[in-house]
Amino acid sequence: MDKKLYEYAQLLVLKGVNIQKGQTLVISSPVECAYFARLCMDVAYEAGCREVVMSWRDDYVTRKRYLLADDAVFDEVPEHIPAFNNGYAKSGAAFLSIAASDPENLKGVDPSRIKRNQRAVGKALAEYRELTSSNAVQWCIGAVPIPAWAKKVFPDLPEDEAMSALWEKIFTAVRVHGDMRAITRWQEHIERTSRRKQRLNDYRFKYLKYKNSIGTDLTVELPEGHFFEGVSEHSKSGIVFSPNIPTEELFTVPHRLGVNGTVVSAMPLVYNGTIIEDFKFTFKDGKIIDVSAKRGEEVLRDAIAADEGASYLGEVALVPYDSPIKQAGVLFYNTLYDENASCHFAFGSAYPCIEGADRLSPEELLSRGVNRSITHVDFMIGTSDMSIVGVTHDGKEVPVFVDGLFAF
Ligand code: ZN
Ligand code: ZN
């Protein structure tokens, strides 16, 4: 176990963040995962980093604050929080976030408090988010089990067994096998997936046509100048890093007005603690015009009504059905993992995967088809018989997915 933990810490710090000699690393971690955050710190100092700065979070404190704090605090953010994040990002530090949350931590909390808090924090940290999402600095998110999460995934096991079981699933998913070769395997995975990304970007498809036996029959238009992203990125100073570990997806932006047909979910969606199952959307000219779900329909209807953009697609992601996350064979109740189990879409805001996007105003991006919303919710649609055909600008049809797997 110790060996695997160290192999995993190395993977996150050396491949995920790719910390450089003389660079500062900010690690944000829940207090329960201090042992693992400290291991990541050790790896970073061994790699010659300038300083490791810890930023601790606590689910318990977060929950109590939502339940008991004065109502006014959810509209304000103390000055030191943006100063910390924006300051380190501007000075070129790298960021490692250890994600480990109780999926039901906010159950029963007044949703308006959450919404207002998200809005206030979003505004205060706009500069930090802009610097990380534009890859001005390297950043990475990885996950570590905590008991509340492990019990959610393995409700029938005693807590310590559930923890070991979740650790094993995580190790499988991130290719940590205890032989200290995770970094090599990760490198091979990146190279294989990058070749596919190149093929997709060479084709510059006008449409992707999805079909499977559970009822998905959907055409998605891709905007002019789009490109596929994923697996690894380059920071502004040219450092290669992987923002998510694990990551199996190649994703791009759909044209917000170019989605037509029906898509059926292939896995449950966990949304703010509610499970939504067996749902489908029908789209016309980009907008969701019909929704149904066997379970959680009301919550789903609310989610796509969050604002105008919430009922349009904001992400198209390709994930082969044999991904190690799918092979782990469990629902993780964690987007970082579950979204890497199968092909997915997201409704809500889009990453601007469009050439020259940084020179376009928000209005220009919208008119090019890049959706805008306060929300972004991934939902899984990939099945073992999923077929995806790409249609080029001159009408040629190219198989992209056959029987749930990449055709190239
Ligand atoms: Zn995705
Ligand atoms: Zn997404």
Structural domain boundaries in the chain: 2-173, 194-406
The pLDDT-based confidence of 1 (bands split at 50, 70, 90) is confident
Cα(304) to ligand 2 centroid in Å equals 15
Q: How far is CA 170 from the centre of its chain?
A: 16
pLDDT at 12: 98
pLDDT at 124: 92
Residue 319 Cα to ligand 1 middle (Å): 9
Q: Pick the residue with more confidence: 407 or 106?
A: 407
Number of the ligand closest to the Cα of 371: 2
Token code pair at residue 25: 């690393």
pLDDT over 90 at 365, yes or no? yes
The CA 228 to ligand 2 mean position distance, Å, reads 13
pLDDT of residue 333: 86
**pLDDT band per the 50, 70, 90 thresholds, residue 325:** very high
pLDDT for the residue numbered 205: 98
Give me ligand 1 centre to Cα 345, in Å: 7
Q: How far is the CA of 184 from the centre of ligand 2 (A)?
A: 27
- Give pLDDT, residue 32: 92
CA–centroid distance, 340 to ligand 2, in Å, is: 10
Lowest mean pLDDT among 105-114, 297-306, 316-325: 105-114
386 and 401 Cβ atoms separated by less than 8 Å: yes
Residue-level pLDDT at 270: 86
Give the mean model confidence (pLDDT) for residues 332-354: 91
Helix (H, G, I), strand (E, B) or coil at 401: strand
Report d(CA 348, CA 377) in Å as an integer. 7
Q: What is the distance in A from the centroid of ligand 1 to the CA of 74?
A: 29
Q: Is the pLDDT of residue 324 over 80?
A: yes
**Shortest-distance ligand to the CA of residue 381:** 1
- Measured in Å, residue 378 CA sits from the centre of ligand 2 at 5
**How big is the CA angle at 25 (ends 24 and 29), to the nearest 5 degrees?**
155
Which value, in Å, is the radius of gyration of the alpha carbons in the chain? 21
Asked if pLDDT for residue 14 goes beyond 80, the answer is yes
C-alpha of residue 340 to centroid of ligand 1, in Å: 7
Contacts of 231 (CB under 8 A, 6+ apart): 189, 190, 193, 194, 197, 242, 247, 248, 249, 250
CA of 378 to the centre of ligand 1 (A): 6
Residue with more model confidence, 216 or 274: 216
pLDDT higher than 90, residue 157: yes
135-145 confidence digits (pLDDT tens)? 899 999 999 99
130 C-beta neighbours (distance < 10 Å), count:
12
pLDDT band at 231 (very low <50, low <70, confident <90, very high): confident
Q: What is the mean pLDDT of residues 252-269?
A: 96
Average pLDDT over residues 155-174: 96
* Whole-number pLDDT of residue 100: 86
360: pLDDT strictly greater than 80: yes
Question: Residue 376 C-alpha to ligand 1 middle, in angstroms?
Answer: 10
Average of pLDDT values for 278-303? 96
Q: How far is the CA of 315 from the centre of ligand 2 (A)?
A: 6
For position 25, what pLDDT does the model report?
Answer: 98
Q: How far is CA 341 from CA 247, 321, 336, 399, in A?
A: 9, 7, 10, 21
**What is the distance in A from the centroid of ligand 2 to the CA of 324?**
18
Residue 62 pLDDT class (50, 70, 90 cuts): very high
The whole-angstrom separation of Cα 45 and Cα 52 is 8
What is the pTM (predicted TM-score) of this model? 0.86
Judged against a pLDDT cut of 90, whether residue 132 lies above it is answered with: no
Q: Which residue has the tokens 């037509």?
A: 260
CATH of domain 2-173: 3.40.1830.10
The dihedral through the CA atoms of 317, 97, 270, 126 has a sign that is: negative
From the CA of 251, which ligand is nearest? 1
The pLDDT, as a whole number, for residue 334 is 85
